[in-house]
A and B are shown apart, each in its own frame.
Chain A
Amino acid sequence: MKPSGQTEPRQNKPYLNGLLAGSIVMTVSHVAFSHVALAASEKSEGSGGLPQLDFSTWPTQIFWLGVSFLLAYLLMWRLVVPRIGSVLEERHNRIEDDLRRARQASDDAEQARMAFEAMLASARNDASETTRKATESIRKKMDRKMETANANMAKKMASAEADIATARQAALKDVSDIAASSAIDVVSQLTGLKVNKTDAKKQVKQAEKAIA
Chain B
Amino acid sequence: MHSPVEQFTIKSLMQLELFGYDVSFSNSALFMMLAVIVSTLFLTFAMRGRNMVPGRMQGAAEMMYEFISDMVSGTVGSEGRPYFPFIFTLFVFLLFGNMLGLIPYSYTFTSQIVVTFVLALFIFIGVTLIAIFKHGTHFLTFFVPPGAPKVLIPFLIIIEVVSYFVRPVSLSVRLFANMLAGHTMLKVFAGLAVMISGAGGVYAPGAILPFLALVGLTGLEVLVAALQAYVFTILTCMYLNDAIHLH
Interface residues, chain A, CB within 8 Å of chain B? 3, 6, 19-20, 22-24, 26-27, 29-35, 37-38, 40-41, 46-47, 50-54, 56-69, 71-73, 75-77, 79-81, 83-88, 90-91, 94
Contact of B112 among A6, A52, A69, A91 (CB under 8 A): A52
Residue from A46, A56, A60 whose CB has the most chain B CB atoms within 10 Å: A60
Q: Which of B197-224 contact A (CB under 8 A)?
A: 198, 211, 214-216, 218-219, 222
In the assembled complex, which residues on chain A have CB atoms less than 8 Å from the CB atom of B50?
Answer: 83, 86-87, 90
In the assembled complex, which residues on chain A have CB atoms less than 8 Å from the CB atom of B243?
Answer: none
Check if B36 sits within 8 Å of A3, measured CB to CB: no
Check if B190 sits within 8 Å of A33, measured CB to CB: yes
Q: Which residue of A lies closest to B40 (CB)?
A: A75
Measured CA separation A77–B218 after assembly (Å): 33
A-contacting 9-mer, from B97-105, B131-139, B144-152, B157-165: B97-105
In the assembled complex, which residues on chain A have CB atoms less than 8 Å from the CB atom of B104?
Answer: 3, 6, 26, 29-30, 32-33
Measured CA separation A70–B51 after assembly (Å): 29
Report if A51-B114 is in contact (Cβ < 8 Å); known contacts: A19-B219, A24-B215, A73-B89: no
In the assembled complex, which residues on chain A have CB atoms less than 8 Å from the CB atom of B3?
Answer: 41, 46-47
Measured CA separation A23–B220 after assembly (Å): 9
Check if B118 sits within 8 Å of A27, measured CB to CB: no
A29 to chain B, nearest CB (A): 3
Interface size class of B (residues with CB under 8 A): 35 or more
Majority secondary structure of chain B interface residues (helix, strand, loop or mixed): helix
In the assembled complex, which residues on chain A have CB atoms less than 8 Å from the CB atom of B89?
Answer: 69, 72-73, 76-77
Check if B10 sits within 8 Å of A51, measured CB to CB: yes
Can you offer 24 A-B residue contacts whose CB atoms are under 8 A?
A: A19-B219, A29-B105, A31-B193, A38-B194, A38-B198, A47-B9, A51-B8, A52-B113, A57-B114, A59-B21, A60-B25, A60-B28, A61-B114, A63-B21, A65-B109, A71-B33, A76-B43, A77-B89, A80-B88, A83-B43, A86-B50, A87-B51, A87-B62, A90-B52
- Whether, in the assembled complex, B115 has its beta carbon less than 8 Å from a beta carbon of chain A, the answer is yes
Measured CA separation A57–B195 after assembly (Å): 31
In the assembled complex, which residues on chain B have CB atoms less than 8 Å from the CB atom of A30?
Answer: 104, 186-187, 190, 214, 218
In the assembled complex, which residues on chain A have CB atoms less than 8 Å from the CB atom of B112?
Answer: 52, 61
Q: Which residue of A lies closest to B5 (CB)?
A: A50
Report if A54-B190 is in contact (Cβ < 8 Å); known contacts: A29-B104, A88-B62, A88-B65: no
